[in-house]
Structure 1
Amino acid sequence: MNGKVGIGLFILMLGSTWYLLLEEVGVRGYLSLLLTLSLMIIGFSIFLENRHPIQTITWIIVFGGFPIIGFIFYFLFGRNFRKERKFQKKYFLDKHDFLKSPDDAKYDIRKKRGVETRHRKLFSFIEKLGNSPMSFATKTTILTNGKETYSTILKELMNAKHHIHLEYYIVRDDDIGGAFKDVLIQKANEGVRVRFLYDAVGCWSLARSYIDELKHGGVEIVPFGPIKFPFLKSTFNFRNHRKILIIDGSVGFIGGLNIGDEYLGLNKNFGFWRDTHLMVEGEAVRTLQLIFLQDWYYSTNRSFLTDDYLCTSQSLQPDLGGVQMLAGGPDNRRTVIKDLFFTMITSAEKSIWIASPYFIPDDDIFQALKVAALSGLDVRLLVPKNPDKRIVFHASMTYFSELLEAGVRVFQYDTGFMHSKIVIVDGELASIGSSNIDMRSFHLNFEVNAFLYHTESTQTLVEDFLKDLEVSNELRFDVFSNRHLGLKVLESTCRLLSPLL
């Protein structure tokens, strides 16, 4: 019997079973019938979406075992069908010809001169992913941890003359959040155009007074994906996880840090916060600017695709290594960030080093890492020892046994919380940005990453990664495999939810 037909019949049987059970109880009536029919329709819709079979089966199990909870969870987190239609306007703008540089011809020359032959196919693929040419005239600087990141950002903000564009997933009304607010209001009063895009769910607890102060101070601040009726809004689960800052079109920042005191290690629950950010100067800022302007247009219907915002004011020599900005999200037909990681992993010849606070890979990334390790490559994974999201943390542990058995070296960062999001291949290719190695970043969130080739920043990432390993504990397959049965049960239970996380 065809697999789809089998799943469809199972859904119908499941719905019928629940209906008969509810018929026996009494209270039932129309509410019971409505719930049963709703679950049957939802289940059939999921079946028609052609999701991964594991995701489909997971939802069916949730509906069967916990119908009411499953119903609520589906409307909160599960509705990714027709997501491209939900973001049709944004998808159209993201594909606009404005992404192409008027000087595209220069890039072909630079590629031939600056790129090793073995990497040209990789670069061609990455340029298609990013829908823009790679820049060889962009300077990048690694900012290690919150203190260096925030001090650099606040300094650059004070130098702004024309505009400031910010886009963050989380903003806190605390000391560092207050410092940002004061600088933005000051610059707005000086005549600088300040536009601030924040995610409505990530900033759910942000005080209204904080937003009002910015508005009254002349800052244009708007939410991305506002939620008024969570149970009726199908875009609730698609969040803007990007962290972008552009100043005057010539300086940009992306990475793992949002705006909040915890990123300075001031939260007692987390302690020291290990994170990485990237400062960008030169040509690639233009692509970063475009990503922001596209998100701003989607949220406000206002477009600023003009030379005032799209011409970089800084010209650098084309010998700084390759830099490419890639934006991924549910508005794109491709899983851009996942495709970037997969391509980097499968192109590796010596080593693959990954740091990710949340590790729930899909089958493609999981198998690619195991194959790489079995082939003799130096594959290392750095994750936190101390979790901030326990379900995700326990679910990620279930992947380690197979990785360890294949030869992957897994390290748990033991000095506070590790939040860096880094992929380094062969010590010369690297990715840094907002994306984790998990299902949510691959399929549900709007993310942005920078791809780096033979830059000084790549070497800094290598050095920082090795320093992080010095304060981490390496897992041993024999010890890890003998952990407590109760812990294994908990982890396996959380693993069942991994396609939904």
Structure 2
Amino acid sequence: MIIILLLLLLLTVWTSLDFIFGRRLHIKQLNVRTYPVRESYINPFTSGPKLFQDYFNELKKAEKHIHVLFYILKDDEISLEFMSILKEKAKEGVEVRLLLDWLGCLKPRRHIKKQFENTGVQLAFSRVPKFPFLFYSFNTRNHRKITVIDGKVGYLGGYNVGKEYINHDKKLNPWRDYHLKIQGEGVQDLQDVFLMDWQSAAKVSIHYHDPYFPPLEKGPYRHQLIPSEGFHLEKTFTKLIRQAEQSILIGTPYFIPGKKVFSELEAALKRGVNLEILVPGTADHPLVKEASYPYLRKLIPQGATIFQYKKGFYHAKILIIDDKVCDIGTANFDKRSFYLNHEINCYTYDKKYIEEVLKILKKDQKNAHVMTQKDLYPLSPWALCKEYTARAVSLFL
């Protein structure tokens, strides 16, 4: 027993020091990229089957290059169809690069590698854990979802590639998410983010090749791409919330904000800002619901309205401030996205676009239950134990 306790103590000390010094190095090496406000055509998708029908059609039309980054790629039917399209395009002479997160594709990684052997598809894995800070690097995931086709068509948002995203998972069916198709000026910034991530993972710099940055026309919607690397996002969200005068609308699968962001939400409520938060009723990961309860429990008495989605699984990531700024992207409203993950979000400033997105969000609120304090209190010792555990590990959920 003494030996076991000593081993646990050593493990705790090692992981703590690993995390502290790994975090310091991470911040020191941050690559903060700031993009200007662009004007593009933006089409939001909220249905997996419709998104992938459009997405696969655009992939098949590629003539020069396809650049894809996903956090998760499975080895099921839709994943095999996706990989088949990439292989066929590479066979046609199209440059195909596929970048996947090392941990997000941990289980099917060997199968994925085998699928692309000798096909012409260039495959790389992002954020591979490495010494000396193994524990910290294991937790800093590339959670971005980016596709750029011929430098002219781009996609980003909450969808990965797998059967659950097209409503073929019994527990999480239907899957509700938001994903954006961008055509116009903004695609060049999406391309820039991908190429930087590709250089980091594949150790190959192809950044300044002209074919990847063709001339692009302007579209009707003013927007700005905001990439983050486990640091910058908290600052931008805090600034947006602080500027809110009338309303803050949040949709997220995981509501686990840090102290700074949560304090700003409380301050907004005190100055009379309407706060509405939409979260899923069904969880796709252990403890994420329990980790949100302490925050939601404090907000309801202060006037916040909490909606719990009931028509399937809600995985969308959205923030709307005063109907003036709308953020849709890959980042969840949680500590992992704020402090660890590499994410990419799209802030849009066009009134007409925001009105359309608001209709989507309000529809999802209608398919939700308004939570009360009674919904947020543990009803058993086991539920209470889960909540305390969730609090302790909330950064890593």
Give the TM-score of the pair, scaled to structure 1.
Answer: 0.74
Gaps of 5+ in 2: none
Q: CA deviation at 1:481?
A: 5.9
Aligned residue among 44, 62, 66 for 1:142: 44
Q: CA deviation at 1:400?
A: 1.2
Q: Secondary structure at the match of 1:437?
A: coil
Letter in 2 for 1:131: T
Aligned residue among 222, 229, 233 for 1:322: 222
Q: Which residue of 1 aligns with 2:263?
A: 367
Aligned residue among 449, 452, 467 for 2:345: 449
Q: CA deviation at 1:131?
A: 1.5
1:131 aligns with 2:34: yes
Q: Which residue of 2 aligns with 1:429?
A: 325
Q: 2:221, 2:353 within 8 Å by CA — same for their partners in 1?
A: no
Following the alignment from structure 2 to structure 1, what is the Cα–Cα distance between the partners of residues 54 and 103? 27
Aligned residue among 400, 405, 417 for 2:313: 417
Q: CA deviation at 1:412?
A: 0.3
CA 1:154–1:87: 2 relative to 1, 3 Å: farther
Q: Which residue of 2 aligns with 1:123?
A: none
Q: 1:239-258 alignment to 2 at 5 Å?
A: 239-258=141-160
Q: Which residue of 2 aligns with 1:48?
A: none
Q: Which residue of 2 aligns with 1:55?
A: none
CA 1:40–1:234: 2 relative to 1, 3 Å: closer
Following the alignment from structure 1 to structure 2, what is the Cα–Cα distance between the partners of residues 169 and 346? 31
CA 1:499–1:198: 2 relative to 1, 3 Å: closer
CA 1:296–1:336: 2 relative to 1, 3 Å: same
Following the alignment from structure 1 to structure 2, what is the Cα–Cα distance between the partners of residues 379 and 146? 28
Q: 1:55-94 alignment to 2 at 5 Å?
A: 79-83=19-23, 85=25, 91=30, 94=31
Deviations 1:153-197 (A, max 9, x none): 111111111110000100011121112111111111111100000
Q: CA deviation at 1:145?
A: 2.0
Q: CA deviation at 1:373?
A: 2.0
Q: 2:19, 2:135 within 8 Å by CA — same for their partners in 1?
A: no
Q: 1:223-238 alignment to 2 at 5 Å?
A: 223-227=125-129, 232=134, 234-238=136-140
Following the alignment from structure 1 to structure 2, what is the Cα–Cα distance between the partners of residues 270 and 33? 42
Q: 2:308, 2:370 within 8 Å by CA — same for their partners in 1?
A: yes
Q: 1:322, 1:455 within 8 Å by CA — same for their partners in 2?
A: no
Letter in 2 for 1:327: P
Q: 2:287, 2:386 within 8 Å by CA — same for their partners in 1?
A: no
1:484 aligns with 2:379: yes
Q: 2:227, 2:343 within 8 Å by CA — same for their partners in 1?
A: yes
Give the TM-score of the pair, scaled to structure 2.
Answer: 0.92
Q: 280-289 or 491-500: which moved more?
A: 491-500
Deviations 1:184-217 (A, max 9, x none): 1111111110000001110011152332222322
Q: CA deviation at 1:310?
A: 4.7
Following the alignment from structure 2 to structure 1, what is the Cα–Cα distance between the partners of residues 335 and 310? 25
Q: Secondary structure at the match of 1:240?
A: coil
Letter in 1 for 2:223: V
Q: 2:96, 2:122 within 8 Å by CA — same for their partners in 1?
A: yes
Q: 1:356, 1:421 within 8 Å by CA — same for their partners in 2?
A: yes
Q: 1:351-366 alignment to 2 at 5 Å?
A: 351-366=247-262
Following the alignment from structure 1 to structure 2, what is the Cα–Cα distance between the partners of residues 456 and 306? 35
Following the alignment from structure 2 to structure 1, what is the Cα–Cα distance between the partners of residues 267 and 327? 21
Q: CA deviation at 1:275?
A: 0.5
Following the alignment from structure 2 to structure 1, what is the Cα–Cα distance between the partners of residues 290 and 361? 24
Q: CA deviation at 1:134?
A: 1.2
Q: Secondary structure at the match of 2:236?
A: helix
Letter in 1 for 2:254: Y
Q: 1:401, 1:480 within 8 Å by CA — same for their partners in 2?
A: no
Q: 2:68, 2:97 within 8 Å by CA — same for their partners in 1?
A: yes
Letter in 2 for 1:432: I
Q: 1:245, 1:254 within 8 Å by CA — same for their partners in 2?
A: yes
Q: 1:98-497 alignment to 2 at 5 Å?
A: 130-135=33-38, 137-206=39-108, 208-227=110-129, 232=134, 234-316=136-218, 320-330=220-230, 335-454=231-350, 456-477=352-373, 479-480=374-375, 484=379, 486=381, 487-497=383-393
Following the alignment from structure 2 to structure 1, what is the Cα–Cα distance between the partners of residues 376 and 60? 53
| Greater fraction of residues in strand | 2
Q: Secondary structure at the match of 2:139?
A: coil
Deviations 1:106-139 (A, max 9, x none): xxxxxxxxxxxxxxxxxxxxxxxx512111x211
Q: Which residue of 2 aligns with 1:106?
A: none
CA 1:199–1:433: 2 relative to 1, 3 Å: same
Following the alignment from structure 1 to structure 2, what is the Cα–Cα distance between the partners of residues 132 and 228? 30
Greater radius of gyration (CA): 1
CA 1:273–1:36: 2 relative to 1, 3 Å: closer
| Greater fraction of residues in helix | 1
Q: CA deviation at 1:390?
A: 2.3
Q: CA deviation at 1:345?
A: 1.3
Gaps of 5+ in 1: 1-20, 23-27, 46-77, 96-129
Q: 1:170, 1:203 within 8 Å by CA — same for their partners in 2?
A: yes
Following the alignment from structure 2 to structure 1, what is the Cα–Cα distance between the partners of residues 279 and 114? 38
Q: CA deviation at 1:39?
A: 5.2
Q: CA deviation at 1:226?
A: 3.0
RMSD between aligned alpha carbons?
Answer: 2.5
Higher relative contact order structure (alpha carbons within 8 Å, sequence separation ≥ 6) = 2
Q: CA deviation at 1:368?
A: 1.4
Q: Which residue of 2 aligns with 1:108?
A: none
Deviations 1:249-300 (A, max 9, x none): 1111000000111011101121210011001111111111111101111112
Q: 1:283, 1:312 within 8 Å by CA — same for their partners in 2?
A: no
Q: CA deviation at 1:485?
A: 5.1
Letter in 1 for 2:285: K
- State how many pairs are aligned: 396
CA 1:240–1:374: 2 relative to 1, 3 Å: same
Q: 1:412, 1:473 within 8 Å by CA — same for their partners in 2?
A: yes
Q: CA deviation at 1:87?
A: 8.7
Following the alignment from structure 2 to structure 1, what is the Cα–Cα distance between the partners of residues 228 and 234? 9
Following the alignment from structure 2 to structure 1, what is the Cα–Cα distance between the partners of residues 363 and 128? 40
Deviations 1:72-123 (A, max 9, x none): xxxxxx62524464697x74xx46xxxxxxxxxxxxxxxxxxxxxxxxxxxx
Following the alignment from structure 1 to structure 2, what is the Cα–Cα distance between the partners of residues 490 and 212? 39
